[in-house]
Structure 1
Amino acid sequence: MQQRELGRGGPLVSAIGLGCLSFGGIFGTTDRAASLGALDAAWEAGITFYDTANIYGAGVSETMLGDWLADRGHRAVVATKVGIVTTPPRGFNNSAAYIRAELEASLRRLRTDHVALYYIHRRQPEIEIEEVAGTMARLVEEGKIGGYGLSEVAPYTIRRAHAVHPVRAVQNEYSLWTRLPELGVTRACADLGIAFVPFSPLGRGMLSDAQPDPSLMGEGDIRRTMPRFMAPNFAANVAAIDGFRAFAAARGVTTAALALAWVLDRGADMIPIPGTRTASHLREWLGADALVLSDSDRAEIDRLLPPGFAHGDRYDAAQNVGPERFA
């Protein structure tokens, strides 16, 4: 697989990483054997960049990843996150004490003494971002982390944090049906030499050959409360994506591979992290890094799925608390 730099001066990683959120059960039940199979398939495909968080399955994802790395002996580039507090009431904590305590817990689950990238998962508005950047800078100096990142933030937050200590990566949702980062975030990253790591680059399964069926989603599936997966929005979104799906098929590629190729084509600093619980789903988008889009491809994709085509918000009211709003 092709390689890309994880931020200016950062390590080289696979152009496509693996998001490990689903190993924690947020999209439905999973099991250890299937999760390990998906991780093995990712490594065999050349994926060296793995993204997890302390809250994914209350530590399950980190533990699964740590056990797999220790058992297989792979030297992967690992990113994890801190900042969301899930115990009621749900909130955010960017204090130095909390960041440090959660990092130590994450390192134990990952079975290591260092992670390449440590994100602030959500910003706590009550604490100035300069203070948070200072905390992360000290962790870099102590050798606990290789660099730090920010998630679901606005352009001004990126620039303020970067002025204190260079930000290595920014992770916001970005795909053909979520284009908000184009209103300043992707430009800030390009200007400052920061890697941009799109999460949910496949629209939480919508940008695939076999679209999800909301009626079959389990009780724990986070998509059940997302407006884009609810009537009447869902039917409108399916109708729009059907045209893109047909275009991918006519080109001889999967819908997921073409959707990922579009993200990769947006800039050399893009390192998308699609997620999956199974090896079979992962294989649907392998090879996306080798797809080359022509000007006519770009024009047709823009015609089929123009910015803002998606019906409904990406989050419900409760989930929308946390991501910074700037446009």
Structure 2
Amino acid sequence: MKQRILGKTGYSVSEIGLGAWQLGGDFGPIDDAAATAILDAANAQGVNFWDTADVYGGGLSESRIGAHAKRAGVHVATKVGRAGTMFPDQYSKGGLRESILGSAKRLGVETLDLVQLHTVPTDVMRDGQIFGWMDELKAEGLMRHYGASVETVEEGLICLQHEGVATLQIIFNILRQDAAKELLPQAAARNVGIIVRLPLASGLLTGKYGKDTRFDASDHRNYNADGAAFSVGETFSGIPFERGVELVQELKGLAPENVPLAQVALRWVLDHPQVSTVIAGVSKPEQLANNVAASERASLFPALMGQMAEWYEREVKPEIRGGV
């Protein structure tokens, strides 16, 4: 597995990481055996960056990772700030400390590798006090580094104003390309590592969905398809599902032949050198192997990247809800 440096953390992380939202059951039920099989596969494939959060399954995702006996050498990043005790407008240093200590207990460590603010409201970021609290909590030894997981380019640029921010987790994929223009270059200039989530746009970019596809009631692709539970820009990258299916069919006409569309989508992200790691959630171990294969593929041709950028501006961007 090829590795890249995660910004000022100095961590050498696998180009393909593991998103662990699904281990909390938020993509449909998953039992302990299936969760363990996914984590075992990540180890076997050299995937050494795992991303979770305190609210995934009410802490279940963190607990499953903490119970996994084979994660030596793995960098685990978690996220705090979406729990109802703080979100949306009750943030405090004490509340953050309590959440961080809870995550550390579930993950079975004294000091967390990386703690990310979990899509806190834009106004909270603008105020800036929360970043000072994170600096102080880091100084207390609760975490080695901190960053932020954001919804939009605007929020990412706000975070970059704060020296203590070591990483940014962003939505970035063929159906959400705007970060390439300003955010990625500025992050690189400040040595801030970029973690890309939703590289497959909640599965749209696998090319396997049709307009008649239905998702489990417990899956956010069901209950948040139109933003009923959280940001409409998160699920399917903010694109209405049926329109997303149509756009993916168009994309297949641009993509190289005989290459799985999911690997094209992952390779597209990795062809941006400012990206440190790409986290994609998987429900089966074999899906992880397919993701890892994208790291070994040759870069896409610059001309093809240009075609995809033009197509995005013309056909995709007008469809996105929730900001870019």
After TM superposition, the score normalised by the length of structure 1 is 0.84
Q: Distance in 1 between matches of 2:203 and 2:154?
A: 31
* Pairwise CA distance, 1:261: 0.6
| Secondary structure of residue in 1 paired with 2:280 | coil
* Pairwise CA distance, 1:164: 4.8
Q: Does 1:103 align with 2:100?
A: yes
Alignment of 1:115-194 (within 5 A): 115-124=112-121, 125=123, 129-152=127-150, 162=160, 164-182=162-180, 184-194=182-192
Amino acid at match of 1:115: L
Q: Does 1:254 align with 2:260?
A: yes
- CA deviation profile, 1:216-244 (whole Å, cap 9, x unmatched): 31112211232487xx9433322321243
> Aligned residues, how many?
311
Amino acid at match of 1:139: L
Q: Distance in 2 between matches of 1:234 and 1:127?
A: 30
Q: 1:78 to 1:236 in 2, by over 3 A?
A: same
Is contact 2:197-2:280 (8 Å) kept?
A: yes
* Pairwise CA distance, 1:158: 5.1
Question: 1:309 is matched with which residue?
Answer: 316
- CA deviation profile, 1:25-57 (whole Å, cap 9, x unmatched): 111111111111111111211110000000001
Q: Distance in 2 between matches of 1:129 and 1:144?
A: 23
Within the candidate set 248, 254, 275, 1:269 is matched to: 275
Is contact 1:94-1:127 (8 Å) kept?
A: no
Q: 1:245 to 1:118 in 2, by over 3 A?
A: same
CA RMSD of aligned residues (A): 2.8
Identity of aligned residues (%): 27
Q: 1:282 to 1:138 in 2, by over 3 A?
A: same
| Secondary structure of residue in 1 paired with 2:278 | coil
- CA deviation profile, 1:130-171 (whole Å, cap 9, x unmatched): 322222222322322111111216666656655553311111
User: What 5-or-longer segments of structure 1 have no aligned partner?
Assistant: 315-319
User: What 5-or-longer segments of structure 2 have no aligned partner?
Assistant: 227-234
| Secondary structure of residue in 2 paired with 1:204 | coil
| Secondary structure of residue in 1 paired with 2:39 | helix
Is contact 1:177-1:309 (8 Å) kept?
A: yes
After TM superposition, the score normalised by the length of structure 2 is 0.85
Q: Distance in 1 between matches of 2:87 and 2:155?
A: 22
Q: Distance in 1 between matches of 2:160 and 2:308?
A: 34
Structure in which a larger fraction of residues adopt strand: 2
